[in-house]
């Protein structure tokens, strides 16, 4: 990739693709054996695995220990049955929306796996989402973060930059997705819909001429005229129009952000109150290190960014 930008490339475990890529590769797919082979051979390039297959075929845990893992599990039973196959390092699990969502989240969390709702947030009602947020904020026995709430809250408390496009990995400057033929898309969904920027063999500068890229640019450039409500939204600093672009709706996100914003204010005030004491009560500590890295594997560790 010759435009000087560092990207995380999501690719199937195909030799002809991985061979030409620089380090910073996330392997994806449902074929555990192929992923295992690719992980062994290109370990220096691979930083993550998005596993979409049956958990009974997930690559061995010892290989997965050194990378960030995202699961697309079918259901709780599968998780329970195959829990022993998972690496000790914390993994993140995309939770599908639907009935029983809250129970799924609680079960996943009890297995020390990080539930992630970001991709399906607008398919959940605001009331359901708030139930989960409040569980995350207040349930004392919870031992893992729930995403995206934890990443959002962490950054609010530390007054760090937030960008939903980045969190959702939908930014061609930083993330691209390849299919088996080397076509480049902005997401797994775009690959499935054959909305390509170009191919991996092209100079990325040429991707800007694609209809997909021009469509995205046009949406952003016209946002003040087409969606003035976005630019008058107090949460634009986070969403930046992403929800309008991808989902059309943002009611659930808005409700979640308001709840997290209030929580961040309370935490901030408590920090001030306890500043002389030097330490917050344990329940209010924002965990650092491996939890925050694993919770958002494709984002930089919040501790990498200066306050």
Partner 1 sequence: MRHVTLVIKTTQACNAACIYCSSWKEDYTEINMSEETLRALHVRLAEYAQEGDLEDVLFTWHGGEPLLMDNSFYYRALDLQEELLKPLGIKVGNIMQSNLLSLNEKKAEMLVKLLHFHDGQPSSVGTSFDPIPGIRVMKHGDYERRFREAVSVAQEYGIALGLVYTVHKYSVDRVKEIYDFLTSEFPDMTIRFNPLYHEGRALLPEGERYYITPREWGRFIVELHEIWDADDKKHTIEPFAALWDFHQGTGYSLDCEHSGSCSEHHLGIGTDGTVYCCCRGVDLARRPYGNLNSEKLASILMSPYRVQLHNRSIYLRMTVCRDCKWWRYCHGGCPVESDISYGDLFHPTSWCEGWERYFDTIFGSPREETPGSS
- Contacting residues toward partner 1, per CB under 8 A: 217, 220-221, 223-224, 231-234, 236-237, 240, 306-307
Tell me whether residue 62 or residue 304 sits nearer to partner 1 (CB atom): 304
Closest separation in Å from C-beta 301 to partner 1? 15
Nearest to 299 by CA among 168, 144, 186: 168
Closest separation in Å from C-beta 237 to partner 1? 6
Tell me whether residue 28 or residue 238 sits nearer to partner 1 (CB atom): 238
Tell me whether residue 136 or residue 175 sits nearer to partner 1 (CB atom): 175
Closest separation in Å from C-beta 4 to partner 1? 12
Closest separation in Å from C-beta 273 to partner 1? 13
Tell me whether residue 74 or residue 222 sits nearer to partner 1 (CB atom): 222
Closest separation in Å from C-beta 240 to partner 1? 6
Tell me whether residue 206 or residue 217 sits nearer to partner 1 (CB atom): 217
Tell me whether residue 231 or residue 273 sits nearer to partner 1 (CB atom): 231
Q: List, as one string, the DSSP characters of the chain.
A: --SS---EEEE-S-HHHHTTSPS-EEEEES-HHHHHHHHHHTTTTEEEEEE-S-GGGPPPHHHHTTSEEEE--S-HHHHHHHGGGS-SS--EEEPPPSTTHHHHHHHHHHTT-EEE-GGGGGGS-HHHHHHHHHHHHH-TT--S--BTHHHHHHHHHTT----HHHHTT--TTTEEEE-TT-EEESSHHHHHTT-EEEETTS-HHHHTTSHHHHHHHHHHHTHHHH-HHHHT-TTHHHHTTHHHHHTS--HHHHHHHHHHHHHHHHHHHHHHHTTTTT---GGG----THHHHHHSTTSPPGGGS--
Closest separation in Å from C-beta 106 to partner 1? 35
Q: What angle do CA 256, 262, 263 make, to 5 degrees?
A: 90
Tell me whether residue 132 or residue 233 sits nearer to partner 1 (CB atom): 233
Closest separation in Å from C-beta 235 to partner 1? 10
């Amino acid at each position: 990739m010759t435009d000087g930008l560092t990207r995380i490339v999501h690719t199937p475990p195909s030799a002809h693709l991985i061979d030409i890529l620089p380090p910073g590769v996330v392997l994806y797919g449902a074929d555990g054996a192929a992923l295992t082979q690719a992980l062994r051979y290109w370990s220096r390039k691979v930083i993550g695995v998005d596993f979409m297959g049956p958990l009974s075929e997930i690559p061995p845990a010892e290989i997965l220990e050194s990378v960030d893992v995202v699961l697309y599990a079918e259901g709780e039973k599968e998780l329970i049955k195959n829990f022993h196959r998972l690496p000790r390092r914390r993994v993140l699990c995309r939770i599908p929306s639907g009935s029983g969502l809250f129970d799924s989240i609680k079960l996943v969390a009890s297995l020390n796996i990080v539930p992630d709702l970001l991709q399906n947030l607008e398919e959940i009602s605001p009331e359901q989402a708030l139930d989960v947020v409040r569980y995350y904020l207040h349930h004392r026995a919870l031992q893992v973060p729930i995403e995206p709430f934890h990443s959002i809250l962490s950054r609010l408390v530390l007054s760090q930059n937030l960008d939903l496009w980045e969190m959702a990995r939908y930014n061609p400057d930083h993330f691209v997705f390849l299919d088996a033929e080397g076509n480049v898309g902005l997401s797994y969904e775009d690959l499935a819909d054959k909305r390509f920027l170009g191919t991996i063999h092209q100079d990325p500068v040429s991707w800007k001429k694609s209809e997909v890229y021009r469509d995205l640019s046009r949406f952003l450039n016209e946002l003040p005229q087409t969606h003035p409500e976005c630019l008058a939204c107090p949460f634009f600093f986070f969403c930046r129009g992403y929800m309008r672009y991808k989902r059309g709706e943002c009611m659930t996100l808005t409700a979640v952000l308001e709840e997290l914003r209030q929580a961040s204010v309370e935490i901030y005030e408590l920090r001030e109150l306890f500043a002389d004491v030097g330490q917050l009560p344990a329940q209010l500590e924002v965990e650092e290190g491996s939890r925050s890295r694993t919770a958002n594997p494709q984002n930089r560790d919040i501790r990498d960014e200066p306050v």
